[in-house]
Amino acid sequence: MSENVFTTTAVSAEDADLLYLASQAEGRRFLWSLVERCGLWSPSFDLSERVEAYREGRRSVAIELVEVMKARVPRQYVLMVQEATDRAAKELAASAAASAQAALEQS
């Protein structure tokens, strides 16, 4: 019986930690960066089975993190995705503006 209490307490502490991290913009930015670095949207395929297995292992961590966030902190997950989308749009706009300025300067 004490094993169940310990498991429940551990999960509750993990949930509280995740909520704390995901409730802050800096935490959501870090979590998103981690998901990206783990290669969630990158192909795992490689001619080397070892490289492919390594990439797939990293990717599985990202998948698990996303699934945990969707289940335990869904509002913060949605907010994290929105913030990441906004950052990407701003970076794309800045890059396009810089390219256009460079093209004008070369003309």
Sign of CA dihedral 11, 12, 17, 18: positive
Q: Which pLDDT belongs to residue 88?
A: 96
Residue type at 56?
E
Q: Rounded to an integer, what distance in angstroms lies between the CA atom of residue 39 and that of residue 35?
A: 7
Domain ranges of the chain: 2-106
Q: Which of 1-10, 51-60, 61-70 has the lowest mean pLDDT?
A: 1-10
The number of CA neighbours under 13 Å toward the Cβ of 52 is: 6
Per-residue pLDDT tens over the stretch 13-24: 999 999 999 999
Residue 12's pLDDT is what?
86
> Does the reported pTM lie above 0.85?
no
Tokens 């390219």, located at residue:
99
Segment 60-104, tens digit of pLDDT: 999 999 999 999 999 999 999 999 999 999 999 999 999 999 988
pLDDT confidence of residue 8: 57
pLDDT reading at 3 higher than 80: no
